[in-house]
Structure 1
Amino acid sequence: MHLTRPQADSLAREGMTALRNGNAAVAYERLSLLRDGAPGMPAPWFLIAQAAQALGRDDEADDALVRFLATEPRHLGALLTMAALKRRRGDDRAAESFYRTALSVASQPGATIAPALVPLLRVGETFLTEVAGRFSAHLDAALKDMPRTASPRIRHALDLLLGRSELYLQQPSMFYFPGLAQRAYFERDEFAWVAPIEAATGAIRAELDAVLAAGPGFAPYVQTMAGRPPPANPLLDDPGWGAFHLWRGGVPVEPNATICPNTMAALSLAPIPVIPGRSPMAIFSRLTPGTHIRPHHGMLNTRLICHLPLIAPDGCALRVGSETRPWRDGRMLIFDDSFEHEAWNRGTQTRIVLLFEVWRPELTATERDALTDIFAAIDRYQGPVVDTG
């Protein structure tokens, strides 16, 4: 049947009016006459699909949506209609795919979403949550015989797959060295120098106790630098995050270093970078009850940060990437602070650790020498870089 443009316009208007009035049969009859289109008017496949779906003609609705999406692949209404159709027909895999695409389209900057589609998007979100739960239950059942001793990397990979964990990567704020392992934490038994330092915990704690008994010795970790804008850190000049400096800018801090000889001797066992004006760096780091160090990234990924807990009450923890660990007296925590990390004290007692940095173990001696030269050259140009948390 060859239609003139006026005839096609009339049928289209009648079909759309019928759809709005809930008369799917009339809409389907009128719109089906437009399957071959008309001069200057393509076939209204999306409208045909809506009418067919309302009448339970799912095969025809599916076919019409396929034709329409071939020319309008990111049409939000058509994607949601196809998702609902696939779900009704029991094809959850296809429904999931169409819902994900629809939600992606809706999330694009500048996307205009008709109010009528908002509830359908919420249905899609709920459906995807249900699908994720079923997939998780399937994997848990299928892998129930996997040994509980499976490597942490296997467990982490599964958590990432199932959305139980967020992917975090190194994002240093100043200097990125490529090719280093993306590991948030390193384990104590990976380093021979850890055990001798941990063995000195008692002697180090005794020196800390003497520092605390002597009175004020801690300063706010984040401070305003003369001639520079204040850091945008809520703990600026806040003693809740305090530091008692032992090494600073590559030199011992006196008289602090002299009154803590056992601590200084223990630090000498670690592979601490020696960079003029920058490192070694070592402090007693204090976190008082109620203090929260907000999520942030360290300046470099060429180092690891070490915490030797000296006073580690309950309610205190460190999150690096997706993993949170508590401090335990005398047990070193070693982490890559170029990952997003945060720390808090939700307990009733102050937490204090010995904090220092070491070279990343993967760096060769030649690379460490080159990095020392690079950082020294940077500091000669712009002055020492201060970590402001």
Structure 2
Amino acid sequence: MAKKKTIYHLTKGLRDRVDAFIMRFSLLPDQALFDPYIMQWVRDLERNWERIRDEALCMATTDIPSLGEISPDHGRIAADRRWRSFFLEGYGYKRQENRARVPTTAALIDRIPNLCTASFSVLEPGCHIPRHRGMTKGMLTYHLALQVPADRENCWIQFEEGDRLHVCPWTAGRSILFDDTYNHEVWNNTTDTRYVLLIQIRRPCRWPARLLMDVFFQGVRYSRFVQDIRKNLDRRGV
């Protein structure tokens, strides 16, 4: 039986052309990692990181589904069911029942301009997310570390940028901002669970790239990729 193609494969040719156009008008350089403080809202999140952490940790891990269960398009990278995601918002759809459980976090992410997605990302002990790259340069990805294993050097994300390899362990209360179209890989080789607030925002760009991104993200909003996640979350009641 033929392997089911994901949105990543089905849109590859289109995405390459869209990415090239976006980068012509990007206000940021083409690089893997950025100073997170170029985004004004980052310090607001960091000032409140303990309150965000407390809300995240109030939920039992069993209340947070594995990403592979709710997002078929994540395919092989979410095969390890120890990677869990608690969705708060995605492509204009708000999970109101989830947001009601974390009101401080919900209020803070509502202040973030050009938000694409927001979730708590949970990496259980021993979990490994294999090497992969994201869907589009039209987004940047942000992590606010909430709970980090005591052996933090053995829980990290790494990025490939040409001949350089960036290895980034998380630090509680601190931020990482990156372009996830660079190949990256994640490990939790500890006996503790890692929690981060994961946010994706639109890349700052000049017009007309902003117009193209409006069209592209509207397409993603109504794609099977997003609609399958919504249906699976509704079915599970999370």
Task: Give the 3 Å change call, closer, same or farther, for CA 252–375 of structure 1 in structure 2.
Answer: closer
Aligned pairs (5 A) from 1:274-313: 280-313=116-149
CA deviation profile, 1:50-102 (whole Å, cap 9, x unmatched): xxxxxxxxxxxxxxxxxxxxxxxxxxxxxxxxxxxxxxxxxxxxxxxxxxxxx
The letter of the residue matching 2:170 is W
Q: Partner of 1:265 in structure 2?
A: 107
Aligned counterpart for 1:355 among listed residues 173, 177, 198? 198
**2:184 is the counterpart of 1:341:** yes
**2:89 is the counterpart of 1:243:** no
2: distance between equivalents of 1:339 and 1:234?
15
Aligned pairs (5 A) from 1:63-142: none
Is the 1:198–1:308 contact (alpha carbons within 8 Å) kept by the matching residues of 2?
yes
Aligned counterpart for 1:254 among listed residues 79, 92, 96? 96
- Hey, which bits of structure 1, 4+ residues long, moved more than 3 A? 377-380, 382-388
Between Structure 1 and Structure 2, the one with more strand by share is 2
Is the 1:299–1:387 contact (alpha carbons within 8 Å) kept by the matching residues of 2?
no
TM-score under structure 1 normalisation?
0.48
Task: Classify the secondary structure of the residue corresponding to 1:281.
Answer: strand
Q: Partner of 1:218 in structure 2?
A: 64
Give the deviation of 1:316 after TM superposition: 0.6
Q: 343-352 vs 262-271, which deviates more?
A: 262-271
Q: Partner of 2:224 in structure 1?
A: 383
Give the deviation of 1:249 after TM superposition: 4.3
1: distance between equivalents of 2:106 and 2:207?
24
The letter of the residue matching 1:251 is Y
Aligned pairs (5 A) from 1:9-48: none
Task: Classify the secondary structure of the residue corresponding to 1:196.
Answer: helix
Is the 1:305–1:334 contact (alpha carbons within 8 Å) kept by the matching residues of 2?
yes
Is the 1:320–1:335 contact (alpha carbons within 8 Å) kept by the matching residues of 2?
no
Q: Partner of 2:6 in structure 1?
A: none
2: distance between equivalents of 1:210 and 1:327?
21
Q: Partner of 1:96 in structure 2?
A: none
2: distance between equivalents of 1:224 and 1:307?
21
Q: Partner of 1:367 in structure 2?
A: 209
Q: Partner of 1:316 in structure 2?
A: 155
Q: Partner of 1:68 in structure 2?
A: none
2: distance between equivalents of 1:265 and 1:200?
11
Task: Classify the secondary structure of the residue corresponding to 1:211.
Answer: coil
Q: Partner of 1:184 in structure 2?
A: 32
**Runs of 5+ in structure 2 lacking a partner?**
1-10, 230-238
Task: Classify the secondary structure of the residue corresponding to 1:371.
Answer: helix
Give the deviation of 1:267 after TM superposition: 1.1
1: distance between equivalents of 2:62 and 2:175?
26
CA deviation profile, 1:102-159 (whole Å, cap 9, x unmatched): xxxxxxxxxxxxxxxxxxxxxxxxxxxxxxxxxxxxxxxxxxxxxxxxxxxxxxxxxx
Aligned counterpart for 1:208 among listed residues 46, 56, 73? 56
Work out the percentage of aligned pairs sharing the same amino acid. 29
Give the deviation of 1:231 after TM superposition: 5.8
TM-score under structure 2 normalisation?
0.75
Task: Give the 3 Å change call, closer, same or farther, for CA 264–373 of structure 1 in structure 2.
Answer: same
1: distance between equivalents of 2:228 and 2:139?
14
Give me the CA root mean square deviation. 2.6
**Runs of 5+ in structure 1 lacking a partner?**
1-171, 274-279
Is the 1:197–1:269 contact (alpha carbons within 8 Å) kept by the matching residues of 2?
no
Aligned counterpart for 2:76 among listed residues 233, 252, 263? 233
Task: Give the 3 Å change call, closer, same or farther, for CA 308–387 of structure 1 in structure 2.
Answer: farther
Q: Partner of 1:175 in structure 2?
A: 15
2: distance between equivalents of 1:224 and 1:208?
19
2: distance between equivalents of 1:345 and 1:326?
10
Task: Give the 3 Å change call, closer, same or farther, for CA 365–210 of structure 1 in structure 2.
Answer: farther
Task: Give the 3 Å change call, closer, same or farther, for CA 386–339 of structure 1 in structure 2.
Answer: farther
Task: Classify the secondary structure of the residue corresponding to 2:185.
Answer: strand
Task: Give the 3 Å change call, closer, same or farther, for CA 234–302 of structure 1 in structure 2.
Answer: closer
